[in-house]
Structure 1
Amino acid sequence: MQLYPIQSGNFKLDGGAMFGVVPKSLWQRTNPADNSNMIDIAARCLLIEDGNRLILIDTGMGNKQSDKFYGYYFLFGDDTIDKSLAAHGFHRDDITDVFMTHLHFDHCGGSIQWNKDRTGYESAFKNAHFWSNKDHWKWATEPNRREVASFLKENILPIEDSGQLKFTSVPEHHILKNSDLGFDIFFANGHTDKQMIPMIKYKGKTICFMADLLPTVGHLPLPFVMGYDTRPLLTLDEKELFLNMAADQDFYLFLEHDAHNEIITVKHTEKGVRLNETFTANELFN
């Protein structure tokens, strides 16, 4: 097995929204804001090469939305999935599986693209299965008023129309062992219903793709919960459970949204679980 970081782009989000009720005087120590109170956010995906399978975890925002839409998110840099795949010797047509942690637009938007004449949408990965779970799919296709702006129909319904959609099982408790993708999955419900956190065994290590359970290093303290979370008190419990496991079992946490820290480990301290070490993906995967 080999792992590769895939950069799909960078953008900015309001720091207050990213940290909920936590005062700016606290969160700006780790996530400094610009003059508009916006903080740097990455859309860092992960590619797993395992035998004949090439599995891409999340796909970023994509490029099919309007300039007005992207204007809200202040995109910066020139990273794209295609450039990042090519840098590792791959093409999007090589992808056999796209695993979507959840269906918010910044995690699955790149799964669907315009067709050639821009009259409709098509799969951006024509040879891949797209993986979600039935509970989250229902949640996303029948959205609540809180999340309706994050679940965009043009990102989701064409996946089903393509015939490429598959569902993982949903465990009775938090962890699905040995999923169809070959890795364990931690299910979390605080951010959105049945978000999936891959836990990948790699060269004697466990690499956890943290999605929105832990967006950035700055979110390590338990009360530092995003304003976007639908059930923030549940996020507190899920973070505590997962971070204690991570500290106890020396997990490596791959941060999808931290623009400045790619992978971290954590440790127990008197203040709770806190940062231990930081790594670049190149340091860990090569």
Structure 2
Amino acid sequence: MKIYPIEAGNFKLDGGAMFGVVPKTIWNKTNPADENNLIDIAARCMLIENGNRLILIDTGMGNKQSEKFFGYYSLWGNDTLDKSLAKYGFHRDDITDVFMTHLHFDHCGGSVNWNKDKTGYEVAFKNAKFWTNENHWEWATKPNNREKASFLSENILPMQESGQLNFIKRPNGDFNFSEEMNFGIFYVDGHTEKMMIPHIQYQDKTIVFCADLIPTAGHLPLPYVMGYDTRPLLTMPEKSKFLTAAAENNYFLWLEHDAHNPIITVEMTEKGVRMKEQFEIQEIL
């Protein structure tokens, strides 16, 4: 098995929204804001090569939205999903599986593109199966008013219309792409309904793709919950359970949204679970 980082493009989000009730004087120490109160955000996806399977976890926000839309997110840097795939000798047509932690636009927007004449949409990975779970699909396709701006139908419905959508049938257990691969899933409901947190056994390590459960290293303290979470009081015990296990088992946490701390480990301290070490991805892989 091989694992590759796929940088799908950096953007910025409002620091206050990213840290909820935590005052700026505190979160600005770990996630410094610019003059517009925006903090750096990554879309660090993961590609797993396992035998004849190429499994992509999340796809970033894509490039099909309007200039006005992208203007809200202050895109920065030169990374794209296609450039990142090409760096390792791959093309999007090589992808066999796209695993979506959840269907917010910044995690699944790259799964769907415009068609050639921009009259409609088509899946961006024509040879891939798209994986979500039925509970989250129902939640995303009939969105509540709070999340409606994050669940965009053009990012979601073409996967079903293509016939390539698949539901993971074990909502309370693990899911493996093959017998040779240990791919566990931790389901959480605080951020959104049934977000999936993959645990991948890689050599002698457990690498966890943290999605929006732990967006950045600055979000390790339990009360540091995003304003985007639909059930913040549920996020805290979910984080507690997860981070306790991460500290006890020395998980390597793959931070999808942290532009400056790609992978970290954590440890238990008097103040709770805090960062132990920070790694560049090449140090781990």
TM-score under structure 1 length normalisation: 0.97
- What does residue 217 of structure 1 align with? 217
For 1:279 and 1:267, locate their aligned partners in 2 and report how far apart those are by CA, in whole Å: 15
Q: Deviations over 1:194-225 (max 9, x none)?
A: 00000000001000000000000000000000
- What does residue 104 of structure 2 align with? 104
Per-residue deviation at 1:240?
A: 0.2
For 1:166 and 1:180, locate their aligned partners in 2 and report how far apart those are by CA, in whole Å: 12
Per-residue deviation at 1:171?
A: 3.2
Question: CA contact under 8 A between 1:168 and 1:180: conserved in structure 2?
Answer: no
1:177 lines up with 2:174 in the alignment: yes
Question: CA contact under 8 A between 2:217 and 2:275: conserved in structure 1?
Answer: yes
Q: Deviations over 1:87-140 (max 9, x none)?
A: 011111100000000000000000000000111000100000000000000000
Q: Deviations over 1:259-284 (max 9, x none)?
A: 00100000000000000001111111
- What does residue 270 of structure 1 align with? 270
Q: Deviations over 1:39-59 (max 9, x none)?
A: 000001000000000000000
Per-residue deviation at 1:168?
A: 0.7
Counterpart code for 1:36: N
1:138 lines up with 2:135 in the alignment: no
Counterpart code for 1:192: T
For 2:260 and 2:280, locate their aligned partners in 1 and report how far apart those are by CA, in whole Å: 10
Aligned length: 282
- Identity rate of aligned residues, in percent? 69
Per-residue deviation at 1:180?
A: 4.0
For 1:91 and 1:211, locate their aligned partners in 2 and report how far apart those are by CA, in whole Å: 23
SS of structure 1 residue aligned to 2:74: coil
- What does residue 55 of structure 1 align with? 55
Question: CA contact under 8 A between 2:133 and 2:171: conserved in structure 1?
Answer: no
Counterpart code for 1:177: D
SS of structure 1 residue aligned to 2:226: coil
Q: State how 1:238-257 maps to structure 2 within 5 Å.
A: 238-257=238-257
Per-residue deviation at 1:179?
A: 3.2
1:33 lines up with 2:33 in the alignment: yes
Q: State how 1:151-166 maps to structure 2 within 5 Å.
A: 151-166=151-166
Per-residue deviation at 1:143?
A: 0.3
SS of structure 2 residue aligned to 1:6: strand
- What does residue 229 of structure 1 align with? 229
Question: CA contact under 8 A between 1:61 and 1:110: conserved in structure 2?
Answer: yes
Q: State how 1:69-148 maps to structure 2 within 5 Å.
A: 69-148=69-148
SS of structure 1 residue aligned to 2:140: helix
- What does residue 198 of structure 1 align with? 198
SS of structure 2 residue aligned to 1:9: coil
For 1:170 and 1:16, locate their aligned partners in 2 and report how far apart those are by CA, in whole Å: 36
For 1:108 and 1:177, locate their aligned partners in 2 and report how far apart those are by CA, in whole Å: 22
Counterpart code for 2:5: P
For 1:89 and 1:33, locate their aligned partners in 2 and report how far apart those are by CA, in whole Å: 36
- What does residue 259 of structure 1 align with? 259
For 1:147 and 1:230, locate their aligned partners in 2 and report how far apart those are by CA, in whole Å: 8
1:10 lines up with 2:7 in the alignment: no
Name stretches of at least 5 consecutive residues in structure 1 with no aligned partner.
none
Counterpart code for 1:157: L
Question: CA contact under 8 A between 1:179 and 1:185: conserved in structure 2?
Answer: no
Counterpart code for 1:245: A
For 2:115 and 2:272, locate their aligned partners in 1 and report how far apart those are by CA, in whole Å: 49
SS of structure 1 residue aligned to 2:42: strand
Per-residue deviation at 1:169?
A: 2.3
For 1:148 and 1:186, locate their aligned partners in 2 and report how far apart those are by CA, in whole Å: 24
Per-residue deviation at 1:170?
A: 3.9
Per-residue deviation at 1:236?
A: 0.1
For 2:76 and 2:174, locate their aligned partners in 1 and report how far apart those are by CA, in whole Å: 38
Q: Deviations over 1:213-243 (max 9, x none)?
A: 0000000000000000000000000000000
For 1:77 and 1:180, locate their aligned partners in 2 and report how far apart those are by CA, in whole Å: 33
